[in-house]
Chain A
Amino acid sequence: MQSYWFGDVDNERCSPFDGDVNSYVDRIRSISASMDAFIPLDWKQSVLCGACRDRADYIARLQAVCIAAAERSIREQYSGKDAELLQMVRTLDEVDTVINLLSERLADWYITRHPMFSRKYRRTPAHVLVKTVREKSKGALGRVAGEIEHLSDTRTALAKEVTARANDVMPNTSALIGGLVAARLLSHAGGLLELSRLPASAIQVIGARTALFAHVKTKSPPPKHGIIFQHRRVHNAPKEVRGKVARVLAGKLAIAARLDYFRGVAVPEFLNPAQERIDAAGKERES
């Protein structure tokens, strides 16, 4: 027997499927064909079946069902809790880029108004400089500085939301590496399912693409870490064991991502020994 969208065909006998568009969608999502014993669909059978009147009716009905099915699939893909987190963390990273770009430009502009100004030998953080510029400058320059400050506030609020959402969506990964870096891993992988399918070795070098390809092409040393370097466990580790910490951490992250995807709740039996193991790696000396 062959199941097609409009009905089941067995030799010459055909039983049409009956129902509204939604039940047709349920049907086409549940049936599949074996490609080995595949008998291609013949639209005329749908007319013999009584499912459709003619060719135009056949195409119109099939199109309506397929559009409804695609709409439902899209809705499902976006309903995953990770879909919004992905957009949030990408927005956050882009806001950062914009703030940096505007601050640099602002400093250049300010310097033309104050030719004796230099940032050398002063420990003026960027946000303090922006504040000074806002207070001391008239017109558009001051207003741009104000906008940068405003955007920085938004950035702070967004970062908090990203962390909170990551703790909720990926509790195990976030517990090991912090919500923000966990969300960035998610963003690079493209989703929680995709992250859970990555091997530890790939997680270790996510975000170090240039170095990785340089290694592949020119046999330069392989990258030890990608964005997991942003976590204090990696960048605070003594240099000689940093690669080791990154490797152990990535191994535990790969497990954590799978727990997050398949269970969705924090698993203390895994987390406690994993934390200990990662901390231990930072204290060992490579022998």
Chain B
Amino acid sequence: MIWIGDVLVSQGEGGVYKERMLGGARVWDAYRSKLSALYHVGTGVELTPGMRVLYLGAANGTTVSHVADYVEVVYAVEFAPRPMQDLLEVARRRKNIVPIMADAARPEYYAPLVETVDLLYQDVAQPDQAAIALRNCAFLKTGGYLILMLKTRSVDVRKEPAEVFQDTLDSLTAAGLIVQESVWLAPYHHDHAAIVCTKPSG
């Protein structure tokens, strides 16, 4: 990851969402992007130029554009038409974003488009976030990483966030993933947690 002092940046064409530029690089704001927040409060996963990424819940393509600055290709899945229009605009100007308009809970519909990836990143506002992640692990190579941005309030508004967090960790572990890191994204994002897992062989 590229840091200028304590500011996280990425190298690429600016002006995607009026982001600030610093020394010719794009500032990656932790208050706007949960992935950036993860790099600020925890370790995360080092993004490298050869990486292939499957990004679920791409939304307006803000975080996607930063990820695309670091890696080889991003497969960006988004379901809603309104944010998809913005995502398409970002994809038209970057060669390595493949926008896919599909439901992340139904990977069978985009499986003929997506190859095996090194990193599965998920940020979706759905109640069954762990199940969606596990279903999409079919695309993850052995030794690859899953970064799950857990929106606890989307799982169940009535449950305590800590309880949802623990339940999710349990179901990921039960499915055979190895949890490497799990942190809350406060003070940048409230009631949101990041879980980093690896997919072991076998």
Contact = CB atoms under 8 A, between A and B. Distances in A.
Interface of A: 2-5, 28, 31-35, 38, 40-43, 59-60, 62-63, 66-67, 69-71, 73-74, 77-78, 216-217
Contact of B107 (A35, A43, A70): A35
A30 to B, nearest CB: 10
Contacts of A70: 84, 87-88, 99-101
A62 B111 contact: no
A74 B101 contact: yes
A253 B116 CA distance: 47
Contact of A40 (B88, B92, B138): B138
Contacts of A217: 158
B112 A4 contact: yes
B101 A32 contact: no
A73 B112 contact: no
A74 B84 contact: yes
B116 A32 contact: no
Contact of B95 (A63, A69, A73): A63
Contacts of A40: 111, 115-116, 138-139
B111 A33 contact: yes
Nearest to B139: A40
B85 interface: yes
Contact of B112 (A28, A43, A71, A78): A28
Given A31-B112, A32-B112, A60-B95, 19 more contacts: A2-B112, A28-B112, A32-B108, A32-B111, A35-B111, A35-B138, A40-B115, A40-B116, A40-B139, A41-B112, A42-B116, A59-B95, A66-B98, A69-B101, A70-B88, A70-B99, A70-B101, A74-B88, A216-B158
A63 B76 CA distance: 11
A69 B98 CA distance: 11
A65 B107 CA distance: 18
A77 B88 contact: no
Contacts of A34: 108
Interface in B52-96: 73, 81, 84-85, 87-88, 91-92, 95-96
25 contacts: A3-B112, A4-B112, A31-B112, A32-B108, A33-B111, A34-B108, A40-B111, A41-B116, A42-B116, A59-B73, A59-B95, A59-B96, A59-B98, A60-B95, A62-B113, A63-B91, A63-B95, A67-B91, A70-B87, A70-B99, A70-B101, A73-B81, A74-B81, A74-B88, A216-B158
B139 A74 contact: no
Contacts of A67: 88, 91-92, 99
Contacts of B73: 59
B179 to A, nearest CB: 23
Contacts of B115: 40-43
Contacts of A74: 81, 84-85, 88, 101
B97 interface: yes
Contacts of A41: 111-116
Looking at B91, B96, B112, the one whose CB has the most chain A CB atoms below 10 A away is B112
Nearest to A40: B116
B106 to A, nearest CB: 8
A43 B97 CA distance: 16
B26 to A, nearest CB: 21
B109 interface: yes
B135 interface: yes
Contacts of A78: 81
A44 B192 CA distance: 39
Contacts of A66: 98-100, 113
Nearest to B141: A40
Contacts of A38: 111, 138
A274 to B, nearest CB: 33
A2 B101 CA distance: 21
A32 B102 CA distance: 12
Nearest to A43: B115
A62 B109 CA distance: 15
Interface string B114-147: 1110000000000000000001001100000000
A74 B91 CA distance: 15
A66 to B, nearest CB: 5
A33 B136 CA distance: 13
